[in-house]
A and B are shown apart, each in its own frame.
Chain A
Amino acid sequence: MNAYECWGRYPKAKHQIEPIYWTSENPFIHSPATSYLAFGKGRSYGDSCLNDGGVLLDTSGLNRWIHFDDEKGVVRCEAGVSLAEVLRLAVPKGWFLPVTPGTKHITVAGAIANDVHGKNHHRAGTFGRHVGQFEIVRSDGTRLLCSPQKNQKYFSATIGGLGLTGLILWAEFSLKRIPSSWIQMETIRFGNLDEFFNLSRDSDEKFEYTLSWIDCFSQGKSLARGLMMRGNHAENYPDKKRFSIRDRSINIPCTAPRWFTHSSIMKGLNVCYFYKQRKKPRVSRVHYDSFFYPLDILGSYNRLFGRGGLLQYQCVLPFEGHGDLSAIKLILSRIAKSNLASMVAVLKVFGNIPSPGMLSFPRKGITLALDLPIRGQKTFHLLEELDAVVGEHHGAVYPAKDARMSGENFRRFFPQWKEFRDYVDPNFSSGFWRRVTQEPSPIGLAS
C-alpha cells in the first residue's frame, strides 16, 4: 500500500487521498478540496510532492499504455506509468529512455513535472526536451492538449512546473535507439576539483554518460577527490542477453539507528570507496541497471538515514568554459568542514542544451548533489549558508530535492516564477509552493 510521504521523509504531512483510475473521468468531483496536488511515486525528496492538509491525487491507477510505435520509438502512456515499466517495454525492442534520473521508480508525469535530468545532460538535455505532447486537466474541468505547437505556454509551464499547472493525464515522448542493454564503462580516480574539471571536459566529448562520485569529507589539496564513471552504450553485444532487462532490489525492512550515519562511519566508508578504485582507470562492461540505478538495488535506502529523515541538497553554479571555480570550492569546503555529509555525493557538469520548461532547474554549469542525514539545526544552517553562496553566483537549488529553501532564495534562483505563476491552477498547491511563495496553508480537511 502507498505511503504518501516524500523520499527524505521530512517534512511529514497529512492528506486526504483521492485515487485516480481513469483518464476519461473528472478527477475533481469527490472532494470539496481547498487544494489539490498530484502524487507520483514520492521520489521527490521534500515537500514539492506533499500538500499538507490538502488533497493528494494518487496517480498510481493511471498506469496504462496508450500507444507504442516500435519503429519510430515513440511511446504514449498514462501519467502514472513508471520509468521502470517503460524500460521493461522498450529495452527488449532496442529502445531506451532518452534521459533518466538516478532511480527508475518515478512516474512519467513526475519526470515531466520536475523536468528531470541524468548523466547525459551534456548531450541530451532534460527529459522535457523529449516530450512531444501531453494532456492536462485543470480543476475547473478544462482539458488542454499541450505540445510545442498547441497551448505552448502551458506546455512550457508544465515541464518543470512542479505539478502546479493541473493534473497530467497522459504524455507522449520519444525513446532512443540503443545497440544493447550494456554500458561500456570506465571508472577513473581524480585527486581534486581541478582534476575533475579536466577529466570532465575530456569525457563529455567522448562519452554519452558522465557522473562523478566525490568524497565529501576530504579537504585541502584533495578537496572533492572522487571517482568519475563514464560510459557509452556497448555496441554489438553478441549473445542473447543483448536486450536483457534487470530489476532487482532488496528491501530495507526497518529504519536504521542514528549512529549508522554518524560522521566517522561515513568518513570511513568514503575513504574505502575512494581507495577501492586503483589509480589506473578500470574498464568494464556493466548492465544499464547497475550503471544508472545503483541505489535502486536497496529498495528504500532512505530508511538508512534513520527516523529523523534526510535532506538532499542539489545546486547548480553557472560557469563559462573553465571559468570561476571559487564558488563550488567554497561550497565543497564548507560541506567538508561541517562533517554533516554522507556517502551519496555527486558532481556533474551540465551542458547548454536549453529545456522547453519555464521553471526548469538545469542550466549550463556545475551541479553538486548530496544527501545529508538531518542533524537538527546544524544541517539547516549549513544549507542556508550554501544557498547564500549559490545566490551570489547566480546559481539555483533544485526544488525536487528541497525541503527547506527560503521563499526569498527561491525567488532569487527562479526569477521567472512570476511569469510561471500565471499558469498555476488556482486550486493546486504544494507544501513547497506555499513555503516559497509565502501562501498560508490550506485550512481544515486532514489537518
Chain B
Amino acid sequence: MRILIVGATSAIAQKVARLFAKANHSIFLAARNEKKLVSVAQDIQIHGAHPVHYMTLDMNDFDLHPALIHQATQSLGGLDILLVAHGQLPDQPACQVNVREAEQAFKVNFLSVLSLLTHASHQFQKQGSGTIAVISSVAGDRGRQSNYIYGSAKGALNIFLEGLRNRLFPYGVHVLTIKPGYVDTPMTSHLKKNRLFADPESVARDIYKAIQKKKDVVYTPWFWRYILLGIKLCPEWIFKRTKL
C-alpha cells in the first residue's frame, strides 16, 4: 500500500507510521521541521517501510498542497491512504482576547485540512478507491469553556468530514474521522497527567485497525464514545452551568 502521512512528526502519526512500516508498506511523510522529519524517516525505514520519501512544508501554506499530493503520488506511484495528523492545541484564554490567535487555531486545525482534502478528494474520487483518515478530536463533539476554540475548529472538521464521506461514498472512497481523547504527546506535555491519558501506541493501533476495517468514525480509546455520549446527551440548560 502507498501511504501519505501529513503531520508525520506528530507523536501519534509516528506510531501509526511504524505499524504501516512493519507491514512493509511504502510511505511518504510530510511535516514542517526538516530535522524531525529526517529522524522519523530513518526510523520507519528501519522498521521496514520501503521506500520512504518525504517533503518539508508548513501546512498553513495552502498553495503547496497540490504539489504535496502530486509529489507523493509520483514518488509512491499512486496513493491508497492519506492520513492527516497535524494540529495544534491553542491557548484558550489567549484566543478569548486575541482574535488572531483564534483565527490561527482555525487555520491550522480546520482550514488547512479543508484545503488539502479539497485537492486530494478529486484524485481519490477519480481513482474510485482509497482511504482518507483524519485525526480530529473528542473536543469537537461539544463546546466547553475550557477549550472551545480548538473544539469548534475540530467540530467544523467533523462536519466537513461527514459531508466528504457522504460525497465520496458512491465512489468507493473511505473517509475516517478519528476522535482521540487525551493522549500523552508533546501537545499535552504541559498538562498534568491522569488515568484518562492514553499512550500514543494504543491510539495508533486503534487508528490502524479502523483504517483496515473501513470504519466511519473511531473514538480512541473506545470508552470516549460513551463519555461523549453522556456529554452530548446533557441538556444545554444544565451543560451551560458546568465547569467543563
Choose the segment among A19-27, A182-190, A280-288, A307-315 that binds chain B (4+ C-beta atoms closer than 8 Å): A19-27
- A23 in contact with B186 given A1-B197, A65-B46, A89-B46 (CB within 8 Å): no
Assess whether B186 is in contact with A24, with CB atoms less than 8 Å apart: no
How big is the A interface, by class? 10 to 19
- A22 in contact with B11 given A1-B184, A1-B193, A65-B43 (CB within 8 Å): no
Interfacial chain A residues near B193, Cβ < 8 Å: 1
Interfacial chain B residues near A66, Cβ < 8 Å: 39, 42-43, 46
- A19 in contact with B186 given A1-B193, A24-B36 (CB within 8 Å): yes
In the complex, per-residue mask of B24-47: 1 if CB is within 8 Å of any chain A CB, else 0: 000000000101100110110011
**Residue in contact with A22 in the complex, picked from B36, B46, B184, B197, CB distance below 8 Å:** B36
Interfacial chain A residues near B47, Cβ < 8 Å: 65
Assess whether A64 is in contact with B40, with CB atoms less than 8 Å apart: yes
Assess whether A67 is in contact with B35, with CB atoms less than 8 Å apart: no
Interfacial chain B residues near A22, Cβ < 8 Å: 35-36, 39
Residue of B nearest to A24 (CB): B35
Of listed B11, B189, B197, residue having the most chain A CB within 10 A: B189
Tell me whether A28 is interfacial, beta carbon within 8 Å: no
Q: With A and B bound together, what is the CA distance between A237 and B197 in angstroms? A: 44
**Residue in contact with A24 in the complex, picked from B39, B43, B46, B189, CB distance below 8 Å:** B39
Q: With A and B bound together, what is the CA distance between A337 and B11 in angstroms? A: 53
Interfacial chain B residues near A21, Cβ < 8 Å: 11, 186
Assess whether B11 is in contact with A64, with CB atoms less than 8 Å apart: no
Q: With A and B bound together, what is the CA distance between A56 and B193 in angstroms? A: 16
**Residue in contact with A67 in the complex, picked from B46, B189, B197, CB distance below 8 Å:** B46
Assess whether A67 is in contact with B11, with CB atoms less than 8 Å apart: no
Interfacial chain B residues near A67, Cβ < 8 Å: 42, 46
B100 to chain A, nearest CB (A): 25
Interfacial chain B residues near A273, Cβ < 8 Å: none
Assess whether B36 is in contact with A64, with CB atoms less than 8 Å apart: no
A84 to chain B, nearest CB (A): 14
Assess whether A64 is in contact with B39, with CB atoms less than 8 Å apart: yes
Q: With A and B bound together, what is the CA distance between A368 and B47 in angstroms? A: 39
Q: With A and B bound together, what is the CA distance between A89 and B47 in angstroms? A: 8
Q: With A and B bound together, what is the CA distance between A24 and B42 in angstroms? A: 14
A55 to chain B, nearest CB (A): 14
Residue of A nearest to B34 (CB): A24
Interfacial chain A residues near B39, Cβ < 8 Å: 22-24, 64, 66, 78
In the complex, per-residue mask of A2-30: 1 if CB is within 8 Å of any chain B CB, else 0: 00000000000000000101111000000
Residue of A nearest to B40 (CB): A64
Interfacial chain B residues near A78, Cβ < 8 Å: 39
Interfacial chain A residues near B40, Cβ < 8 Å: 64
Of listed A19, A65, A67, residue having the most chain B CB within 10 A: A65
Residue of B nearest to A23 (CB): B39
- A64 in contact with B197 given A19-B189, A21-B186, A24-B36 (CB within 8 Å): no
Q: With A and B bound together, what is the CA distance between A24 and B35 in angstroms? A: 7
Interfacial chain B residues near A64, Cβ < 8 Å: 39-40, 42-43
Residue of A nearest to B46 (CB): A65
Q: With A and B bound together, what is the CA distance between A22 and B184 in angstroms? A: 15
Tell me whether A68 is interfacial, beta carbon within 8 Å: yes
A90 to chain B, nearest CB (A): 11
Interfacial chain A residues near B46, Cβ < 8 Å: 65-68, 89
Interfacial chain B residues near A23, Cβ < 8 Å: 39
Q: With A and B bound together, what is the CA distance between A357 and B47 in angstroms? A: 32
Q: With A and B bound together, what is the CA distance between A22 and B189 in angstroms? A: 14
Interfacial chain A residues near B35, Cβ < 8 Å: 22, 24
Interfacial chain A residues near B33, Cβ < 8 Å: 24
In the complex, per-residue mask of B4-40: 1 if CB is within 8 Å of any chain A CB, else 0: 0000000100000000000000000000010110011
Q: With A and B bound together, what is the CA distance between A311 and B17 in angstroms? A: 41
In the complex, per-residue mask of B47-78: 1 if CB is within 8 Å of any chain A CB, else 0: 10000000000000000000000000000000
B121 to chain A, nearest CB (A): 32
B178 to chain A, nearest CB (A): 21
Residue of A nearest to B39 (CB): A64
Interfacial chain A residues near B186, Cβ < 8 Å: 19, 21, 61
Interfacial chain B residues near A19, Cβ < 8 Å: 186, 189
In the complex, per-residue mask of B176-191: 1 if CB is within 8 Å of any chain A CB, else 0: 0000000010100100
Q: With A and B bound together, what is the CA distance between A287 and B197 in angstroms? A: 36
B143 to chain A, nearest CB (A): 29
Q: With A and B bound together, what is the CA distance between A65 and B199 in angstroms? A: 20
- A65 in contact with B36 given A1-B184, A19-B186, A19-B189 (CB within 8 Å): no
In the complex, per-residue mask of B190-216: 1 if CB is within 8 Å of any chain A CB, else 0: 000100010100000000000000000
Q: With A and B bound together, what is the CA distance between A66 and B47 in angstroms? A: 10
Q: With A and B bound together, what is the CA distance between A68 and B42 in angstroms? A: 10
Q: With A and B bound together, what is the CA distance between A65 and B40 in angstroms? A: 9
Interface residues of A in 67-119 (CB under 8 A from B): 67-68, 78, 89
Q: With A and B bound together, what is the CA distance between A68 and B193 in angstroms? A: 35
Interface residues of B in 82-123 (CB under 8 A from A): none
Q: With A and B bound together, what is the CA distance between A67 and B43 in angstroms? A: 8
B27 to chain A, nearest CB (A): 15
Interface residues of A in 20-49 (CB under 8 A from B): 21-24
Q: With A and B bound together, what is the CA distance between A21 and B10 in angstroms? A: 10
* Selected A-B contacts with CB under 8 Å, 5 pairs: A1-B184, A24-B35, A61-B11, A65-B47, A66-B43
10 nearest A-B pairs in the assembled complex, by CB-CB distance: A64-B43, A65-B46, A24-B35, A65-B43, A68-B46, A21-B186, A19-B189, A66-B42, A64-B39, A22-B36
